Amino acid sequence: MSKNNSFKFPLILYNTIAGSLWFIHLYNTINVILNNKDVNTFYLNSVHFLTITQCLAIIEIFNSLFKIVKSPLLTTFAQVSSRLLIVIGSFKLSSTSISPFIGYEYITLSLAWSITEVIRYFFYAFNLLNIQPKVLLFLRYNMFPVLYPLGVSSELIILYRTVQINDNQLVKLIYIISMLAYIPGFPVLFSHMWIQRKKAMKQLFNSKK
């Protein structure tokens, strides 16, 4: 949430645009799955859109840095940078039209990221408008037990493949360190969301009463 009302409209606009872009990627991903389309073609047609959409999250680092929102800077930076390492790093390392990252992990990554972000961004946008749809509140704090492990496992597979195809020892080291960072990072994030879930569900059920 913004500490200053002057940032309210830009934050609403940012969250709405980001949520809409992620919804487009989600729609395209589901379309590929339902119509059993070629995954490599989907990758080639969507990877640039996914990269641009994810890069918008850099704004969130600055929002946290300048205290425009209450999100902790270290957590925000870690979450955003880990994804940027994939979309700017891993997806750009392949020099061929058929990337080594093409497989079901690109589909599962797209599903996990886009569903999570559609819910998250619209949840924030409505909150800034002092509206709290119960369905978004419920989804926000009940989908992560499935989406987070799905996303993390997909990310780790892609990071591992990046290590395999790269000959630069420094790049290999960066990716290995990034993979190891998931060991303490994921439990912390998951437990934080679980605590938040308990508070949100208590609020939701109390409002029903």
pLDDT digits 0-9 by tens, 57-108: 999 999 999 999 999 999 899 999 999 999 999 888 764 544 665 678 999 9
Q: Tokens representing 31?
A: 């379309």
Instruction: Output Rg (C-alpha) for the chain, integer angstroms.
Output: 18
* Catalytic-residue membership of 155: yes
Q: What is the pLDDT of residue 6?
A: 85
- The rounded percent of the chain whose pLDDT value lies above 90 is 75
Kindly list the domain boundaries of the chain, sorted by start residue.
5-208
Q: What pLDDT is recorded for position 209? A: 55
Q: Which long-range contacts (CB under 8 A, 24 or more apart) does 202-205 make?
A: 203/137, 204/134, 204/137, 204/138
Inter-residue contact 76 to 60 (CB < 8 Å):
yes
121 within 8 A of 22, measured Cβ to Cβ? yes
Which residue is catalytic, options 60, 105, 117, 155? 155
User: What pLDDT, on the 0 to 100 scale, is given for residue 103?
Assistant: 78
Let me know: does 120 contact 186? Beta carbons within 8 Å: no
Which residue in the list 148, 160, 175, 182 is annotated as catalytic? 148
Q: Residue 68's pLDDT is what?
A: 94
Q: What angle do CA 190, 193, 195 make, to 5 degrees?
A: 110
Using 50, 70 and 90 to split pLDDT, how confident is the model at 164? confident
**Residue 14: pLDDT over 80:** yes
Contacts of 33 (CB under 8 A, 6+ apart): 107
Residue 1: per-residue pLDDT: 47
pLDDT (0 to 100) of residue 176: 96
Per-residue pLDDT at 86:
94
